Amino acid sequence: MTCDLTDKIFTDEEAARAHFEALRWPDGPICPHCGTIGEATELKGKTTRPGLYKCRACQKPFTATMGTLYERSHIPLHKWLLATHLMSASKKGMSAHQLWRMLGFGSYRTAWFMAHRIREGMRELFSDESGPLGGEGKTVEIDETFVGGLEKNKHRSKRKHRGTGGVGKEAVLSLVERRGKVRSHHIPAVTAANLRPIVEAQIHADTHVMTDEGGAAKKVGSEFAKHSSVNHSAGEYVRGDAHTNTIEGYFSIFKRGIYGTYHHVSQQHLKRYLAEFDFRYNERIALGVTDKMRAAKALNGIVGKRLTYHQPN
């Protein structure tokens, strides 16, 4: 079920706060000063701001947004919830201009900042992710693609690249487990030396690795005990189980977003856009993730999960 954009959490600050507290504190308020869980009293009254709690262990006051971006940014929490929901649910991404219009708030610059901060939160979720893709009986497809530049708009003679090469563009390496997750990386160039450390660290040694005939990916893929490749340049796309259709499908979603929604992505920010598309793919409906669950996960990324809490003595 999709989330209703008229939900009060997107329009009302009080409802937004209650929603955020429930997500952030499933076991009751957590004191950011001493780490005590579920031992706080909400201070209610005309003189205190809503959502202010007092820790019964250390006696200090706190709120659910204390120490987070939501407190520092001075943007209403319900606008953050709306922006996060919109970006989590839009399959092809959402430009800062579109986000600005839909938020009905702030400036273009504010919307741009929010969009980038939400992407960064999606990226932080992955840095926590442990363990390699694949394993016994599983298949991971590896391939590279090139994005950026406006090569197609340049006169033929001025284009820096020919054919399918990537000169003047940014190189992206993706690893996709079939019926599983994707991990994408912005790499300086497509060489076996650049691919190898990523592939070795992120793909389980017992995985059946699938590549096309492209030099570097095939070279690194062939270092696995189980490796297959298809020869696209010879017109071969599927040979039994050997194909790279999963990763081609992923690249096509990513490119429709990059060229259709964002038009241009700078080298500096490419890793954030990759995180955004990886995030939506990994938290997709086919894996049982609803729009609501996906947005909740993105909010966690923004708050940061590195804070560690302990139970009261």
Among 54-62, 78-86, 122-130, 285-293, which window interacts with Zn ion (CB under 5 A)?
54-62
37 belongs to the binding site for Zn ion (CB under 5 A): no
In angstroms, the Cα distances linking 26 to 19, 34, 159, 239, 269 are 11, 18, 55, 49, 33
Interaction between residue 33 and Zn ion (CB under 5 A): yes
> Which residue stretch of 47-55, 235-243, 287-295, 304-312 sits at the interface with Zn ion (rule: CB under 5 A)?
47-55
Of 23, 57, 89, 102, the one binding Zn ion (CB under 5 A) is 57
If one asks whether residue 34 binds Zn ion (CB under 5 A), the answer comes out as: yes
Using rule CB under 5 A, residue 209 touches Zn ion: no
Q: Which position among 31, 199, 210, 217 is part of the footprint of Zn ion (CB under 5 A)? A: 31
55 binding Zn ion? (CB under 5 A): yes
DSSP string, 43-103: --STTS-TT-EEETTT--EE-TTTTSHHHHH---HHHHHHHHHHHHH-TT---HHHHHHHH
Q: Which of 15, 18, 37, 58 binds Zn ion (CB under 5 A)?
A: 58
Residues touching Zn ion, count (CB under 5 A) = 7
- Min dist. Cβ of residue 313 to Zn ion (A): 12
Strands (E), the chain: 40-42, 53-55, 61-62, 139-147, 170-177, 182-187, 208-212, 226-230
* Residue 141 CB, nearest approach to Zn ion (Å): 49
What lies within 8 Å, CB to CB, of 139 at 6+ separation is 177, 178, 207, 208, 209, 210, 241
- Smallest gap, in angstroms, from Cβ of residue 61 to Zn ion? 9
Residues 6+ apart with CB under 8 A from 161: 151, 167, 168, 169
Site residues for Zn ion, 116-145, by CB under 5 A, read none
Q: Which stretch binds Zn ion (CB under 5 A): 55-63, 202-210, 237-245, 247-255?
A: 55-63
Binding interface with Zn ion (CB under 5 A): 31, 33-34, 36, 55, 57-58
